[in-house]
Structure 1
Amino acid sequence: MKRLTDFIERQSFGVCEAIGKRVGFSSGSVRLSFVYASFFTFGSPIVLYFALAFWMNARRALRQQRRTVWDL
């Protein structure tokens, strides 16, 4: 079961894991809270999840593209 959740987390942008590391919670509890919040608010946290995933991928792409200001 752990391998399955690790695979899903890697394939789904790693947003819950990043939030969990930053806040100090386990990624499973953050993921579970996203699921519960999605049920109670009729899916609005899904929009937040995709916005965070876009932001994380954009930051990752910018860091890989140019490491310092002086790189050309």
Structure 2
Amino acid sequence: MFQSVITFFEKQSFGVSTYLANTLNMSTTKVRLFFIYSSFLAVGFPILFYLLAAVVLDIRSYVKKVRLKVWDI
């Protein structure tokens, strides 16, 4: 079961750490390590932030796609 969860997240990665790393001009590895370490210290709060950011980024990409389709008409 654990392997199926890992496979799901590898296939369906949200791109949050990549987006934050590019925005902040940092390494993606450092951003991922920040989320991992801060999750242990803050009892899971950064995981909620990560999931919220994933939803927001997904909505942003959907809105961009719809906006492009509207202007193509």
Question: Normalising TM by the smaller chain, what interval?
Answer: 0.7 to 0.9
Tell me the SS of whatever aligns to 2:35. helix
RMSD over aligned Cα, in angstroms? 2.0
Which runs of 5 or more structure 2 residues have no equivalent in the other structure? 1-8
* Residue of structure 2 in register with 1:17 after alignment: 18
How many angstroms apart in 2 are the aligned matches of 1:59 and 1:41? 28
* Residue of structure 2 in register with 1:60 after alignment: 61
One-letter amino acid matched to 2:49 = L
TM-score between both structures, scaled by the size of structure 2:
0.78
TM-score between both structures, scaled by the size of structure 1:
0.79
One-letter amino acid matched to 1:54 = V
Bigger fraction of residues in helix: 2
Q: Where in structure 1 do 4 or more consecutive aligned residues deviate above 2 Å?
A: 67-72
How many angstroms apart in 1 are the aligned matches of 2:45 and 2:18? 19
Identity of aligned residues (%): 37
* Residue of structure 2 in register with 1:4 after alignment: none
Question: CA shift at 1:38, angstroms?
Answer: 0.1
One-letter amino acid matched to 1:64 = K
Would you say how many aligned residue pairs link Structure 1 and Structure 2? 65
Q: 1:65 to 1:45 in 2, by over 3 A?
A: same
Question: CA shift at 1:68, angstroms?
Answer: 7.9
Tell me the SS of whatever aligns to 2:57. helix
